[in-house]
Chains A and B, each alone.
Chain A
Amino acid sequence: MNLDFRRSLLLRVMTLSVLVSGLGWPLSALAKVDLQVRASQTARYFLVNDRLRHQVTEVGLRQVADVREGVTTVVDGRLRYDSALFPTPVLKMRDYSKDVRDDEGFEAGARQAYVDLLTSSWAMKIGLIQFDWMESLSPRTSDAVTALDLRYGGFDSAGQIIEPVEAFSANTSVGFGSIEFMVVPRGKHHRLPKGENGYGYGEKVNRLLAGLERVVKGSGLRGSLDTSLKHGTIPVDIPNAEFGARFLKSAGGIDFSAFSWRGHQRTPALELSLFESEDSTTLAPAWELMAQETYQRMNSYGVFASYGGEAAVLRLFSLYEPGRKPGVLLDDDLAALVSMGTPDPSVIVGDRAYRKGALDDRLRAGGGFDYVFSRHLKIYSEGYVTVSRVTGVTVPGEGVEETYRDHTLTLRVTNESFSDVLISCDSTITGPDRSWLVNPDVSIDWRTGDAQRNGNSSEASWKLSVGGWLVQSESDKSALRILRDARQVYLRLATWM
């Protein structure tokens, strides 16, 4: 069970918000209170092993209260229960670990809980908020500054996968543009599965540890060998607080923005170490191979521009992240053993491996183009190239400076030719070791209940969606390889009232 609201600051903000907007403040004193309830039921069937992987019931509640002119409180929470993670007499094929069940089975928490202040010269937010400074379409492009919930591959909408953070933000006009500041006392990293849940990360770690275990055992070390993954987190203290600023300017149909962010790496680097200890019962040597998730303190810099024409929108973006840690880092002892054991450690670790201390300067540059053919047919596209320059010591190898690049291209086509039916298809291709992902989706909307003409609130909106996520990767080195076993079809029924 994951009760996010146990966290003290969030609890305080939510309490304050509820007190201000509902209980402590007389309702009559509030200018306006909007309450929205949403509920959904989603079933996901994995195609690889032909089984129901998720049966998620979700209920969400969002309250927006205008406390007074320029002061608004927002509380948005959700409750999720995934019945497919728990054994039932009928469906006995559950094979999830306790870690996965504890992490994903039940979840109750706030997605947003903040106070919004708007004055003539400043716009401010304080509380638990979701933010994304990357001006791109795909939420997965936002993985530098914004922490994402990637437990399910990052397939969901941005609002569902952006991890909320406790933050204070303020922006103001400065004559020649606008400046926004943000402070996040407790930065977050991407949320990854706690165990092997079918979306690849757990499998990747297990495969890495199993491969290294074979190498270590094959090296002739005497004694027992245990492997473990130690989940890491971003330290919570003042020196590790995150903050940033961005400048925005819009003129003549062109938007420009640039930001600088002092934060942490959102994706963990796995630091692998081999420890020797002594088994106290047998006095025999014992070894432990440990993978430790670490998040490097680092800066990110982004520059964006977009232009809107009659039918088209053009976007350009670049993001520079110097001083990242590469994905897999080995300590000296382990690096020596791996170097002896195999000429190509990527066979074992499934990735490039470096000795501890290696750093990766990453530059991502790309753009997007949207075009509206008609009210019915629209396309959205986005592509970017990521160039990494790593300095350090490879495994095996000597001190090096190597550069490698990969690319991603996404195309989204939507069609609304049929009344209340939206047909869309997202296609993403990554390289150089080609992998692709296709997400066809058909949604139909309808409404029930009385109309809103007389202010009646009995109306409900419904949406039924059918679609799938199809992943194909031709190489173990391709970018989407960890998602290839998560090929799935889904059926979702959602309602809002």
Chain B
Amino acid sequence: MRTEEFMKGSRQACWVVKFMLIASLTTGTMAIAGETDAARILEKAEAIRNPTEDYSVDVDLVDSKEGKVDLRSYETMIKGRDKALVKFVKPESESGTRVLMTGPDMYVYVPTSAKPVRISANQKLTGNAAYGDVARLSFVGNYAAKLKSTEKNDGKEVYVLELSSIPDRPVTYDKIEYRVDAKTFRPVKAVYMTQSGKPIREGTFEDFGDVLGVQRPRTFMLRNLLRSDHVTKLKFKNPKQKSFPDLMFEKQNLGRN
């Protein structure tokens, strides 16, 4: 190959490289901007769904399956974004049982066993709902958000966020498609999916009312998409803003009252 041809070819290659670089930087910047937007939308929606401060809330769970209704009650205490303590209140036979979620670690204390025991992440599901649903753990910090699209829902514009779980976080589901009202940033709907993207549950946020000074959803309806007759309703009540000592979320104190 002659030198000029090589130089010409090199210049062309340089332009191609420059073009690719600019293109990649542009898309990268757009992607970052998209992620920033998504993170901002998620942050706002989660600030409505959950108080950002430490708080406690009572949860009544009504699980309907094949016409049979199961009723349960819990007390939950949430500290920050990755610590939750779920106390079983009803049924009476399970009263005193507690589940502690702290980061990726999960423990259960059953009064008959008299000591806390580590459990695997797959034991986080209790029927249709998960302890994470009961504790209403925040998606912020536990999922990476991406703005997928915007769409109309009941005549309102909603953002569709794609949430992917961050490794080693206390999450229940691998992926979530989270719909947020574009005007009010209220959470509208969450479709929970497996790692492969298969939808398994759909949750809707309902009954907005004053909760610790902000209009928040007080009911969460969870439908099993694999079994249409399985619906779980979680009603959140008596929210209280509290400051919990870190020791309350230590494994050795799980059996305390």
Chain B contacts with A in 210-256, Cβ cutoff 8 A: 245-248, 250-253, 256
* Residues from chain B with Cβ under 8 Å of A445 in the complex: 91, 93
Contact of B115 among A38, A118, A158 (CB under 8 A): A158
Q: Is the CB of A372 within 8 A of B60?
A: no
* Residues from chain B with Cβ under 8 Å of A250 in the complex: 102, 105, 251
CB A452 to nearest CB in B, in angstroms, measures 5
* Residues from chain A with Cβ under 8 Å of B245 in the complex: 70, 118-121, 123
Q: In the docked arrangement, what's the CA distance between A451 and B89, Å? A: 13
> Is A281 an interface position by the 8 A CB rule?
no
CB B243 to nearest CB in A, in angstroms, measures 9
Contact of A255 among B93, B95, B115, B251 (CB under 8 A): B251
**Given A36-B92, A116-B256; A132-B115 close (CB under 8 Å):** yes
Q: In the docked arrangement, what's the CA distance between A70 and B244, Å? A: 10
Q: Is the CB of B252 within 8 A of A180?
A: yes
CB B220 to nearest CB in A, in angstroms, measures 16
**Given A178-B252, A253-B105, A497-B92; A123-B247 close (CB under 8 Å):** yes
Contact with A along B81-105 (1 / 0, CB 8 A): 0000000011111111000001011
**Given A118-B248, A171-B250; A72-B93 close (CB under 8 Å):** no
Q: Is the CB of A451 within 8 A of B71?
A: yes
Q: In the docked arrangement, what's the CA distance between A124 and B231, Å? A: 42
* Residues from chain A with Cβ under 8 Å of B69 in the complex: 451
> Is B200 an interface position by the 8 A CB rule?
no
Chain A contacts with B in 265-293, Cβ cutoff 8 A: none
> Is A459 an interface position by the 8 A CB rule?
yes
Interface size class of A (residues with CB under 8 A): 35 or more
CB B20 to nearest CB in A, in angstroms, measures 39
> Is A92 an interface position by the 8 A CB rule?
no
Contact with B along A214-256 (1 / 0, CB 8 A): 0000000000000000000000000000000000101011010
Contact with B along A386-423 (1 / 0, CB 8 A): 00000000000000000000000000000000010000
Interface 9-mer from A201-209, A302-310, A321-329, A347-355: A302-310
**Given A171-B253, A453-B60; A372-B122 close (CB under 8 Å):** yes
> Is B196 an interface position by the 8 A CB rule?
no
CB B244 to nearest CB in A, in angstroms, measures 9
Q: Is the CB of A496 within 8 A of B92?
A: yes
> Is B144 an interface position by the 8 A CB rule?
no
Q: Is the CB of A178 within 8 A of B256?
A: no
* Residues from chain B with Cβ under 8 Å of A122 in the complex: 247
Chain B, interface SS category = mixed
CB closest residue in chain A, given B111? A159
> Is B76 an interface position by the 8 A CB rule?
no
> Is A486 an interface position by the 8 A CB rule?
no
Contact of B250 among A72, A178, A452 (CB under 8 A): A178
CB A15 to nearest CB in B, in angstroms, measures 19
> Is A98 an interface position by the 8 A CB rule?
no
Contact of A132 among B114, B123, B246, B248 (CB under 8 A): B114
**Given A118-B247, A123-B247; A313-B168 close (CB under 8 Å):** no
> Is A130 an interface position by the 8 A CB rule?
yes
* Residues from chain A with Cβ under 8 Å of B114 in the complex: 130-132, 139, 158-159, 162
**Given A36-B92, A74-B257, A308-B120; A157-B247 close (CB under 8 Å):** no
Q: Is the CB of B251 within 8 A of A309?
A: no
CB B75 to nearest CB in A, in angstroms, measures 10
Q: In the docked arrangement, what's the CA distance between A330 and B95, Å? A: 50
CB closest residue in chain A, given B68? A419
Contact with A along B103-119 (1 / 0, CB 8 A): 01110000111110111
CB closest residue in chain B, given A133? B115
Chain B contacts with A in 3-48, Cβ cutoff 8 A: none
* Residues from chain A with Cβ under 8 Å of B122 in the complex: 310-311, 372
CB closest residue in chain A, given B69? A451
Q: Is the CB of B253 within 8 A of A123?
A: yes
Contact with A along B165-199 (1 / 0, CB 8 A): 00010000000000000000000000000000000
* Residues from chain B with Cβ under 8 Å of A62 in the complex: 96
* Residues from chain A with Cβ under 8 Å of B250 in the complex: 123, 171, 173, 178, 248
**Given A130-B114, A453-B62; A308-B92 close (CB under 8 Å):** no
CB closest residue in chain B, given A378? B123
Q: Is the CB of B120 within 8 A of A447?
A: no
CB A241 to nearest CB in B, in angstroms, measures 22
Contact of A157 among B102, B113, B246 (CB under 8 A): B113
> Is A463 an interface position by the 8 A CB rule?
yes
What are 7 A-B residue pairs whose CB atoms fall within 8 Å in the complex?
A248-B250, A248-B251, A250-B102, A250-B251, A309-B121, A445-B93, A459-B91
Interface residues of B (CB under 8 A from A): 60, 62, 68-69, 71, 73, 89-96, 102, 104-106, 111-115, 117-123, 125, 168, 245-248, 250-253, 256-257
Give 10 nearest A-B pairs by CB, closest first: A461-B93, A496-B92, A157-B112, A158-B114, A372-B122, A461-B91, A159-B112, A452-B90, A311-B122, A496-B93
Known: A125-B256, A255-B118; 11 extra A-B contacts, CB below 8 A, are: A120-B245, A158-B113, A162-B114, A171-B253, A172-B247, A255-B105, A308-B121, A313-B120, A452-B90, A459-B91, A497-B92
